[in-house]
Chain A
Amino acid sequence: MANKKINIVIIEPSSIIREGILSLLKKSGFYFEAFLFDEIDKPLINLNTKIDFFIVAPIKVYNKEEDIKILKRKFPSSIWLSFATTIFESNLLTTFDKVFSIYDSHETISNTISDFILNENQTTKNFVQEFLSSREIDVLKLVVAGLSNKEIAEKLFISTHTVISHRKNISKKTGIKSQSGLTIYAIANKIVNLDDYSK
């Protein structure tokens, strides 16, 4: 937890609550960056940084269903939290993963947030280096040869969709995304011959 930075968007019009949330986060020793916004609107939706947590005042989610849907699609693993000041409507529960009461203790809040962080790390990190399947190796050879997804599909008698999913798996297993990076990978692992490549 200590070395993974979390990015948090905070939309909270009450400065008392906002400052409260921030000082609580600072006190909990999270490694975080907080981005403050006034509303759920364009600038937030256009963000290019991966956001781990959204902490949004209940009052700011009304009539924002569409925008929230877009944000959740853009950041599928993001966690949505809120601080309720009074009794809140139950339909808010569908937007948020967890609604805190402002009367919750510091421990409850920071423990819940750390649980979310730990869970996310477990599902996304894959430390085991996996080997490529023989089909993936076929695809990789053709990627290295410079063929497009469509050309690879035709050559191997599979759909473009399948090629894309093989390519995703190759990148996931090798950790390499670019075509030129994969070429070096293939040469280093003797999947293709350097002489074939330079031809």
Chain B
Amino acid sequence: MKKINFIESNIKASDLIFEFPTSLLLMEHFGISFQIHNKTIQELCDEIDLNSNVFITIVNMYNKNAIINSNLYSKKDLIRIISFLKNSHKYYENEKYPEIKKSIDSLYNYNRLPEIKLIGKFFDEYFEEVKEHLNYENDIAFPYFDMILNNKSDSLFKYNFSVKEYSEHHSDIEYKLEDLKELLLNHIPIQNDRLIRRNIIFSLYDLQHHLNVHSEIEDHILVPAIAKFEKELIGK
């Protein structure tokens, strides 16, 4: 089968999912139905009134090939992107992190090294920082973006915040994920835990990819596009 490099909206959703299974999750985050039957991406997006370019660009970003032009997105598109990001937050918080945490806990059952206990603690602290960051976006940044996208210029003035502040806030927590991989791969002795450790490492890579794309969406689409609307609305 020929590898699909650049995904386009005229392909069948089932072909896309066979080629690139993560798109099933991305569809879910956008609210696209699982009942794909024989439909194309375009048809599925039309059903929920989603600009197919938004979906295609983000799938291509996850598939590590994309062309991004923040000028292309309307306010309506950006509202959909924010809702996508919020759903991904829920996915990280309620599924992805707890799943990895569970694996690390069971790692200790196989390999009772004190270092592994410390890895568990390290992961908990890291997860707390991540949650803090997600809450900051959910509670402070996204509501502000919503005001811009819904043209609520009165409330904007009262809200002491700006896109610039958001783009500078970026907390650098990703290096802890690197540290975890490094420790599990290179430094903590293996004892009867090869299988579970492999699964943890795969999950960490997967998580890291998700987080990378997530922040690329924020940096390359959300920030430049919303900054433009912010300027139009209040000249900040």
The secondary structure that dominates the A interface is: mixed
One of A28-36, A70-78, A80-88, A145-153 contacting the partner: A28-36
- Is A161 in contact with chain B by the CB < 8 A criterion? no
- Is A113 in contact with chain B by the CB < 8 A criterion? no
One of B29-37, B97-105, B148-156, B217-225 contacting the partner: B217-225
- Is B94 in contact with chain A by the CB < 8 A criterion? no
Q: Quick one: given A31-B65, A43-B224, are A181 and B219 in contact (CB under 8 Å)?
A: no
Q: In the complex, what distance in Å separates the CA atom of A189 from the CA atom of B6?
A: 45
Asked if A176 and B183 sit within 8 Å, CB to CB, the answer is yes
One of B13-21, B84-92, B170-178, B199-207 contacting the partner: B170-178
Asked if A188 and B66 sit within 8 Å, CB to CB, the answer is no
User: Considering only CB atoms and an 8 Å cut-off, how many residues of chain A contact the other chain?
Assistant: 32
Q: Which residues of B contact A187 (CB under 8 A)?
A: 114-115, 118
One of B46-54, B138-146, B185-193 contacting the partner: B185-193
Asked if A43 and B227 sit within 8 Å, CB to CB, the answer is yes
Q: Quick one: given A43-B227, A194-B114, are A188 and B189 in contact (CB under 8 Å)?
A: yes
Q: Which of under 10, 10 to 19, 20 to 34, or 35 or more describes the interface residues of B?
A: 35 or more
- Is A129 in contact with chain B by the CB < 8 A criterion? yes
- Is A178 in contact with chain B by the CB < 8 A criterion? yes
Q: In the complex, what distance in Å separates the CA atom of A3 from the CA atom of B39?
A: 31
Q: In the complex, what distance in Å separates the CA atom of A29 from the CA atom of B4?
A: 11
- Is B70 in contact with chain A by the CB < 8 A criterion? yes
One of A46-54, A58-66, A98-106, A115-123 contacting the partner: A46-54
Asked if A47 and B69 sit within 8 Å, CB to CB, the answer is no
Q: In the complex, what distance in Å separates the CA atom of A176 from the CA atom of B122?
A: 13
Asked if A188 and B5 sit within 8 Å, CB to CB, the answer is no
Q: Which residues of B contact A38 (CB under 8 A)?
A: 71
List residues of B (96-123) whose CB comes within 8 Å of A's CBs.
Answer: 114-115, 118-119, 121-122
Q: Which residues of A contact B38 (CB under 8 A)?
A: none
Distance (whole angstroms) from the CB of A106 to the closest CB of chain B: 17
Q: Which residue of A lies closest to B167 (CB)?
A: A46
Q: Quick one: given A184-B122, A185-B187, are A33 and B115 in contact (CB under 8 Å)?
A: no
- Is B79 in contact with chain A by the CB < 8 A criterion? no
Q: Quick one: given A184-B119, A184-B187, are A47 and B219 in contact (CB under 8 Å)?
A: yes
- Is B61 in contact with chain A by the CB < 8 A criterion? yes
Q: Which residues of B contact A43 (CB under 8 A)?
A: 70, 223-224, 227
Q: Which residue of B lies closest to A177 (CB)?
A: B175
Q: Quick one: given A33-B216, A183-B118, are A188 and B68 in contact (CB under 8 Å)?
A: no
Q: Quick one: given A176-B183, A184-B187, are A33 and B65 in contact (CB under 8 Å)?
A: yes
Q: In the complex, what distance in Å separates the CA atom of A129 from the CA atom of B186?
A: 9
Q: Quick one: given A184-B118, A194-B114, are A26 and B227 in contact (CB under 8 Å)?
A: no
Q: Quick one: given A46-B167, A49-B220, A183-B118, are A175 and B68 in contact (CB under 8 Å)?
A: no
Residue pairs across A and B with Cβ atoms less than 8 A apart, 10 shown, are A26-B6, A34-B68, A43-B223, A43-B227, A175-B179, A177-B175, A181-B182, A181-B183, A184-B118, A184-B187
Question: 5 nearest interchain CB pairs?
Answer: A181-B179, A36-B69, A175-B182, A43-B224, A188-B187
Q: Which residues of B contact A (CB under 8 A)?
A: 5-6, 61, 64-71, 114-115, 118-119, 121-122, 125, 164, 167-168, 170, 175-176, 178-180, 182-183, 186-189, 215-216, 219-220, 223-224, 227
